[in-house]
Structure 1
Amino acid sequence: MHTALTTLHTLDDVADEVRRQKHLYVRWSLGPETDLRVGSSRDELTGVPLPGLSANSLDVEPWWQERPVRIWVARRLYDYCHLPRHRGTGVRPWLLQGRECGRGPDNEPLVREVKPLAWIAPAAIDEAMRVIEEQPGPWGPVERFGQP
């Protein structure tokens, strides 16, 4: 179905998409074919089906002001880069456009009307991690379940 998606190879590629379009999300999963066939996410704790797919918004928030979009996107990708280790083989990030329809148990956006746009390459994630780890000033380590 969607295996012919393009791949965004660099952090700049992803940031360019965020500059061009609204309502963009990153989802870490086995991919759009599996996700769209299943149709929705489930609460991992209770097994309750959710009204959409859990994803994380890449849209730049107004409070970010004129700071670089590239760093915003790096932060958003960095925040969930532990998921492939936590969820298993085959889990990888992909870019989608969608309509938010609610919030999941971890306050993450749930999206419907999903339009798969692109895979996000491991090199782009590695670059995002380097960008965040190199930030000067008050940036501190973000403790995430499953991160080294």
Structure 2
Amino acid sequence: MHYYCPTAKSKKGCNKKHVPKDWLENLVVAKTLDHILRPDALKYIANACYEIQLKDKAGDEEIEFFWRRIAENKRALDNTLKVIESGVETMTLPLRLKELEMERLQLHNELKAAEARKVILTPEHIEFMLLQYVEKGEDE
């Protein structure tokens, strides 16, 4: 297998020779290891990734949404309980209470899932993960 200039095939002036695929790919990996995956560069990349995570507000909005819904649900539960405690009896109050309690459980589960998606990796974790690529690249 070889890499070649597409314009050379159509005779549009490129006189570059075909390059062996394995040789070029090994060269790219070696240069990447030499120039990009150095300890100082890895530390810089890890810190930059960490800062990006801190600035990312996408997950925060979802978490805030669930906290608002939980607060609304709590108010509705409290109001339903007050009506029941005041002595008003209807067939729909126990059903509404059960419905609100189920909604509360569901909201808490969804909040936990949203918080789990918003995990922030430390620079050390990121650097460790990048080092796995360095070691794998050296092995190959």
Question: Do they fold alike, i.e. is TM over 0.5?
Answer: no
Larger helix share, 1 or 2: 2
Which of these two proteins has the greater Rg computed from alpha carbons? 2
Larger strand share, 1 or 2: 1
Normalising by structure 2, we get a TM-score of 0.20
Normalising by structure 1, we get a TM-score of 0.19
